[in-house]
Structure 1
């Protein structure tokens, strides 16, 4: 009688669960891996963070390990890595999968000292500058890298054979087309006749929200019933600057800043066109989940033609615009506004079906499983 196939123990590492974004991404994948094939465990540096309780409730074993350490002092760094390697050996993972965004390579070194396969997900377009050597060492030490868009492969791993394309996926049980709640419609004083543009983003300069505001102001007309809703924490300097621009420079009364919201999936049901105007500088995008969530929710979408966004809209080039070009964005916004209802609904359905075929969370999980099988 043949023996049972050994379950692969996968240890997911993440610095913390202070912010829910990357923590949710990890948990959505970890909780869907085949439990008969994969034994999932999680390691993080501390127990703080509002999302940590949800991770505890998942039932996965959680290890609190200070596994990251600056390597500027080589002797101190190596000592720390040896200490972490001992902790990794006690857990006995077959594969360690790092969800750390930074160029730190101490974790990779500790994993290698422990005799564990080590994988990291490249989630952003950072590479050069002060962090360049860290990324190169991190990549050299890795057994495999999961990259989230094709620009990453071209720019960072052009000749590597130890990489796999693993784009983000969206959970359509959470995000799907639906009618807006009356309470939310009333909150924004919407009668149902308005054409609503929306952006959900971390309000920082690289997100290019001022480009969207400029395009909207140019499109705005008393004969058009338009609304722009901007969702995200607006209490920082950039958020305050945007609000002053709307009120004092453009004198727009149909632009709403909601602040940070926990009911994004309900807000998306108000949206006709979701716009992601990220600039082509700084971190750029890895695989922006906000765009996927809006498509899955039945919104039309527009995105700047940058890394990550280009992958997600590769089959819809007319929904891309040059990053930072408010005039071209205005033209794209106007084109969608002027579509007849039948064409709008057809395009919305095309976007939903595209997500179902290529960008579901289940497909992201399958790609993770294939990666683990490949290197085990």
Structure 2
């Protein structure tokens, strides 16, 4: 498998495992790499969040060091990144794989100054400023996670499409022993998101309101103690939907809530940073329940084989119609759709496929 008697030393960098949405994906990748051939370390800014304890339990070296610094003032950038450059050289890493989502390129500069390869996974949509271009120019390799992203780098040969992977054994409804009690006479819709305006949760609330069906219940999982959350709660109250729309806050394990739902909806707006590859959607699919998503980049990539499950972004009427259609489908048909979605995840987005693609890439880069 390449370089005999010498493991490839990889450093993964990520802002944190508390708010960074790809933390679970990186966790699974770091856990799954063949330890006979790869020596894995992680660098992040802090150890906040309950999930960090699970990352620590992997037993891998974790360094609390910020891989980035403010770009300005430019004249002192090289000197301010000397600490991270020296850290890289001290630990003799062969490459650094960044999971930072911003256009910052200070990390890339430090790594390239240390004389090793730097690659990054492009997680967020958008490529509209000079900093993304500098970041991409400095990259030894770029990993994209949906088709549209590939068009951002028309002259970059050192790139590959590797969709994010999911642990299909972990996201499996059959292994759950405890599920929250639910009213089986209700039709339960769930959405999971870091609640910021681009997520479009108000579109979903309005669509359910338009149906005027008290049997439909919406559960919103995600931290809502912010300005956007306040607007959603106010909307719910104004529409007198207190009994239909429930805000549960953040949950460490969302699987039981998905497993007891009849439908997952991701109503992201077609504006702002949009979606790269929404893992909450993939998790719901993997849990075997029907899904609906707005027809925007990232979401339509995940659902490209299921176009009937897409609706125009911000279209309350179309979303309401699709919800009503699924509401009236026999349970057997919804179950069949859920099984088809789960099988699609196993075939296209399994962690085994994801890990194998990265192992092959790392080996190629160190030849």
Q: TM-score range by the shorter chain?
A: over 0.9
1:48-67 equivalent positions in 2, closer than 5 A: 48-67=48-67
**Counterpart in the other structure of 1:33:** 33
- Residue 202 and residue 71 in structure 1: after superposition, are their counterparts in 2 closer, same or farther (change >3 A)? closer
**Counterpart in the other structure of 2:210:** 218
Partner Cα distance (1:303, 1:312) in 2: 10
**Counterpart in the other structure of 1:118:** 118
**Counterpart in the other structure of 2:312:** 322
- Residue 357 and residue 159 in structure 1: after superposition, are their counterparts in 2 closer, same or farther (change >3 A)? same
**How big is the shift at 1:46?**
4.0
Matched, 1:372 2:367: no
- Residue 341 and residue 55 in structure 1: after superposition, are their counterparts in 2 closer, same or farther (change >3 A)? closer
Deviating more after overlay: 284-293 vs 236-245: 236-245
Partner Cα distance (1:72, 1:126) in 2: 22
1:263-274 equivalent positions in 2, closer than 5 A: 263-274=253-264
Matched, 1:236 2:226: yes
State the secondary structure of the residue aligned to 1:31. helix
State the secondary structure of the residue aligned to 2:109. helix
**Counterpart in the other structure of 1:143:** 140
State the secondary structure of the residue aligned to 2:27. helix
Deviating more after overlay: 167-176 vs 76-85: 76-85
**Counterpart in the other structure of 2:279:** 289
Contact 2:195 2:222 in 1 (8 A): yes
Partner Cα distance (2:114, 2:178) in 1: 56
Gaps of 5+ in 1: none
**Counterpart in the other structure of 1:201:** 193
Partner Cα distance (1:341, 1:37) in 2: 47
Alignment length (residue pairs): 365
Contact 1:198 1:275 in 2 (8 A): yes
- Residue 39 and residue 231 in structure 1: after superposition, are their counterparts in 2 closer, same or farther (change >3 A)? same
**How big is the shift at 1:47?**
4.3
Partner Cα distance (2:5, 2:27) in 1: 25
1:134 to 131, 135, 146: 131
Per-residue deviation, residues 113-144 of structure 1 (Å, max 9, x unmatched): 1111100111101322xxx1211111000000
State the secondary structure of the residue aligned to 2:252. coil
**Counterpart in the other structure of 2:87:** 87
**Counterpart in the other structure of 1:160:** 156
**How big is the shift at 1:252?**
5.4
**How big is the shift at 1:40?**
0.6
Partner Cα distance (2:88, 2:16) in 1: 17
Contact 2:51 2:252 in 1 (8 A): no
Contact 1:181 1:266 in 2 (8 A): no
**Counterpart in the other structure of 1:192:** 184
Deviating more after overlay: 200-209 vs 243-252: 243-252
Partner Cα distance (1:205, 1:367) in 2: 34
**How big is the shift at 1:314?**
0.5
**Counterpart in the other structure of 1:4:** 4
**How big is the shift at 1:352?**
1.0
State the secondary structure of the residue aligned to 1:21. coil
Contact 1:169 1:359 in 2 (8 A): yes
Gaps of 5+ in 2: none
**Counterpart in the other structure of 2:172:** 176
**How big is the shift at 1:238?**
1.6
Contact 1:180 1:267 in 2 (8 A): no
